[in-house]
Amino acid sequence: MSSKRSPPSSDSSCDSDYEDKRRRIDIDSKLFSGLSIHIIQAKIEATELDLLFSLAESNGAELVTNNEQAEVIVTAISMRRRLERHIKWEIAKEKAVVTPAWITQSVANKRRLACGDYAAVCSLEECTKENCPDHSPKWQSARESSSPVPTTPRNLSYLARFAVQRASPLICPNQGLLEQLAVIHRISNTPRYQTLKEFTRIHGIGPHTARKLYATGCRTVDDLDRYYGAELGRTEEDEPVPEDEISGIRVALELRDKLCVPMPRGEVEEIDRVIAQELEEVEPGCLRTIVGGYRRGKEMSNDVDIVYTHPKKGRERNLSRRLVDRLRSLGLATHVLHITSFRSANPNHAPAGAARPDRPHWDTLDKALIIFRLPATENSPKGLHRRVDLIFAPFETYWTAVVGWTGSTLFERDLRLWAKQKMGMKFDSSGITRRRDTKQFFPRTEAAVFELLGLEYIDPTLRNADI
């Protein structure tokens, strides 16, 4: 049985907001054609609910009131216990159970996005992927969507002090002006600045290390080759270079011509797929999210960052070493720049060789920084060497890790400042704690991380605060 809804009419301000959203999104009557959708109304505000009903119906969906008749269940509920108040668990496992964002993002992108990327309940993610009605030629993974078009939350302000209160898209309204100013800025930079900037392009060399190298007399990348290779010009009074720094940066220098080649989104996704396939052999049932610039919508990436977890407590421990051992045995991981374990991790002492110009804040998560190379196939030669960071988080801090590793650098810095100055809390990728009594908090969704910190949720594609 179909469920018909009409636009809200009781509040003029709601009417205006509703019509504004409707005008911003095109209608495609074939987008959800032939698809039966059931929307669970709990935890969804009236205005948003009316928008969801209208978007789904105007784009061809059949709205049903019986959840057993639906192919897709839309809900803002993220916990199994609460979801079972509205739908039997056995039935839910036979459906694609997605968040409301699946509808709005699909309409905004003018294509049905993959349900798995919008699974409402973590434990139903695999079922949602399997039950996704992907027979439509318009079906496409959100990871393949080259131009995400999120709706900007109304309470964000471009004038806000903190980046976590601003919308920062990849391309801003004044992008042309910024590019011209960037040219002027580059002209006025000193030779020292240009040298430091060139050094920090080498994986493993952050601003602090770059300044130390400059102080030793290094001025070119060739100087770095000699410094980390033959170590010419060093005296007994010089501070010794840690061996892990030597090996990690030396590899980056040797492969710099290959590692500096940006990779498109498709290659990032293929690397993720291959690693996930091997991870399934090592520890079945893991969950993962590609983070970093890829998740913020960048068309090209310099490296690949992936956060992993396992729903069963403790299964993620030592998983980094087990996975890396397998990748090395298969010839997929050609170099290991750095690897940690839960026991040895120390947030105050980042390994020297693992210092990264774009990751100044080191967390206590288990991680492996490797050089990865896609295997050759019938249709393509062996891939280029690529930097890949594998981050393993306990299930209870998974979404905190995803937020912390999505970036951008300035956004993450302001997120930590906001947590400290405004909320009296400490935030990093490892978790959230209250400073006065060290009480820990474990948000179960990405949106819950923002809610816990008293912030409006910002889509990943609007977190490009460094541009």
Query: What is the tens place of the pLDDT at every residue in 49-70?
Result: 888 888 888 888 899 988 999 9
Q: How far lies 176's CA from each of 15, 224, 226, 229, 464, in Å? A: 35, 36, 40, 42, 16
Give me the percent of the chain exceeding a pLDDT of 90: 40
Preceding omega of 247 cis (within 30 degrees of 0): no
Gap between the Cα atoms of 86 and 81, Å rounded:
10
Picking from 391, 372, 360, 345, the residue whose alpha carbon sits closest to that of residue 210 is 360
- Which H or E run contains 370? strand 366-373
pLDDT in the model for residue 300: 93
- The span from the first CA to the last CA of the chain, in angstroms, equals 49
Picking from 465, 367, 466, 459, the residue whose alpha carbon sits closest to that of residue 151 is 459
pLDDT in the model for residue 152: 58
Residue with tokens 């052999």: 281
Residue with tokens 């056995």: 90
pLDDT in the model for residue 141: 39
Q: What is the DSSP string of 123-139?
A: GGHHHHHHT--TTSTT-
Q: Which two tokens stand for residue 170?
A: 């990849």
pLDDT in the model for residue 275: 95
pLDDT in the model for residue 182: 60
pLDDT in the model for residue 123: 83
pLDDT in the model for residue 431: 93
pLDDT in the model for residue 277: 93
Q: Which two tokens stand for residue 158?
A: 């471009």
- Write down all domains in the chain, each with its CATH number in brackets: 12-144 (3.40.50.10190), 189-259 (1.10.150), 263-393 (3.30.460.10)
Q: Which residues, given as ranges, of the chain have pLDDT below 70?
A: 1-29, 134-154, 173-188, 230-247, 341-362, 379-380, 467
